[in-house]
Structure 1
Amino acid sequence: MLGEPEYSMNELFAQLGLDSSDEAIDGFVEKNQLAKNEKLIESDIWNDNQRMFLQEEWTKDAAWVEIIDDLNVRMHPDA
């Protein structure tokens, strides 16, 4: 029986229509640090489609949730 696929941060950025190179991801995270109480999916850095994808995948606790959580942690350095 096959389990849920495991995705990478690079695949998440590609899915979001963003540059998915390691350097671009690091730059994006560095440039878009979030305040401690700012929710990742509510940030104005996303367009509507990106926000909807992140929200749906998070809510469904889907295969992407671990990568989205990792991104959330990386973007909240002071949390």
Structure 2
Amino acid sequence: MEHPDHPFTELFEQLGLASDPAAIQRFIERNSPIPEDVALPDAPCWNEGQAEFLREAIEDDADWAEVVDHLNTSLRKS
């Protein structure tokens, strides 16, 4: 089964966040770095619905898994 390729901006839209490049950059700068011992969905920057979406994307290896991994990597950088 082939997974659709979701752009980074679309992930932010799915999470209900501003999705223009400047807003994405601000979000990452404001919420980085997430400590290595904190799972992405457990970071304090998410509301309950966002955390659940991220958790399901990771656990189910869903269509969103690749772009969620990109988000995870981006938020781990300081």
TM-score by length of structure 1 reads 0.90
Query: Residue 73 in 1 paired to residue 73 in 2?
Result: yes
Larger Rg: 1
Counterpart residue number, 1:32: 31
Counterpart residue number, 1:49: 49
Q: CA deviation at 1:43?
A: 0.7
Which whole-Å CA distance do the structure 1 matches of 2:53 and 2:71 have between them? 14
Q: CA deviation at 1:3?
A: 2.4
Aligned residue identity for 1:71 = L
Counterpart residue number, 2:13: 14
CA RMSD between the two structures: 1.3
Q: CA deviation at 1:36?
A: 2.8
Q: Identity of counterpart residues, as a percentage?
A: 36
* Runs (5+) with no aligned partner, structure 1: none
* Runs (5+) with no aligned partner, structure 2: none
TM-score by length of structure 2 reads 0.91
